[in-house]
Amino acid sequence: MTQSLTIARPDDWHLHLRDGAMLQAVLPESARHFARAIIMPNLVPPVVTHADAAAYHQRILAALPADQSFDPLMVLYLTEETDPEDVAAAHASGLVKAVKLYPAGATTNSASGVQDFDKVRGVLEKMAEIGLPLCVHGEVTNSDIDIFDREAVFIDRVLDPIRRATPGLRVVMEHITTKDGVDYVKANDSDLGATITTHHLIINRNHILAGGIKPHYYCLPVAKRESHRLALRAAATSGDARFFLGTDSAPHIDPLKENACGCAGCFTATNTMALLAHVFEEEGALDQLEKFASRNGPGFYGLPVNTETLTLTKSDQPTQFPEKIASGDGPVTVFDPGFPVYWDVA
């Protein structure tokens, strides 16, 4: 028996598209299902200025296959040199929808991130004034803080002080991985939202480390213990408007993942919607999937919900997802949930 579910076409509120040959390979994987995505600016060098974002936007549109439609929502990478007026102009032009805060050294290509938060105060105040959201990679980078505690410590030491010092600043906690993150969002108002990835709804830290190390499950923030995964599932499936999908689909070629010092990132663009249908059905919450993937994100960003639709169907045969996709730089492994999935996009 075939079961089906039609929802407003989803958006991805946190996506890494990269550049060059990788962009060419991964963009169609996202554009096939998603209408829009918040495009992460951690290129080398990063997308810092309005002009950088305009040029990257052009490269993305040039890489889009003629038969696909996709609206890349551009993001500026916050540095200690970012000019508040440039940010305001980028926002006023309609091109830029958010600014991204990476604490220096937190993750892939974050070396230009912020070390001294006092140096970005002027930018944050301007953003609060004009209503431009700040997307936050919420992990401290201190080597004395255990990697599994970095999100919770960031909330206390960095995020909460920034929010108190900048009333009116709209903040998205990106890719939350802990119950602490969920609770912090719920304890606050609608100026604070959070994205949740597909993979953090599926794996906990055992999946990375037990029975042999699984480099394709390694991402940042790293997956935490099971109780945190369950808190994320409860938040994502609750319908609460402050939680929405940001896949953090982050392609790296296999030689850089299957490596003595492997890169962080799970590539989920290809099968995210099918995996989410599986997760939401498991939670008895298929009726909440549209809010999480298609409604809450536009609500937070003040954008219209897409008028097109996406239909998911469930069959009695497991869906065969590609194991890898090819790029001009090398193969990229598609996230394997480790269990059969019967849903697919029709």
Question: Judged by CB under 6 A, how many residues of this single chain contact ligand DOR?
Answer: 11
Sign of CA dihedral 292, 297, 300, 303: negative
Minimum distance from residue 184 beta carbon to Zn ion (Å): 19
Contacts (CB under 6 A) with ligand DOR, residues 8-47: 16, 42
Question: Judged by CB under 5 A, how many residues of this single chain contact Zn ion?
Answer: 1
Instruction: Fill in the per-residue mask, 236 to 265: x = in contact with Zn ion (CB under 5 A), - = not in contact.
Output: ------------x-----------------
Q: Is 177 in the site for ligand DOR (CB under 6 A)?
A: no
Q: Is 146 a catalytic residue?
A: no
Among 137, 199, 257, 291, binds ligand DOR (CB under 6 A): 137
Minimum distance from residue 36 beta carbon to Zn ion (Å): 16
24/294 with CB nearer ligand DOR = 24
- Please name the amino acid found at residue 298: P
From the list 11, 12, 240, 248, the catalytic residue is 248
Minimum distance from residue 220 beta carbon to Zn ion (Å): 8
Among 208, 241, 264, 303, binds ligand DOR (CB under 6 A): 264
Q: Is 220 in the site for ligand DOR (CB under 6 A)?
A: yes
Among 23, 250, 269, 276, binds ligand DOR (CB under 6 A): 250
Minimum distance from residue 284 beta carbon to ligand DOR (Å): 30
Closest to 194 measured CA to CA, from 174, 170, 221: 174
C-alpha 105/C-alpha 103 separation (Å) is: 6
Among 90, 219, 286, 312, binds ligand DOR (CB under 6 A): 219
Q: Is 78 in the site for ligand DOR (CB under 6 A)?
A: no
- Residues 6+ positions from 174 with CB-CB distance below 8 Å: 14, 100, 135, 136, 137, 138, 194, 195, 246, 248
Minimum distance from residue 320 beta carbon to ligand DOR (Å): 26
Q: Which residues are catalytic?
A: 248
Query: Which residues lie near ligand DOR (CB under 6 A)?
Result: 16, 42, 107-108, 137, 219-220, 248, 250, 264-265
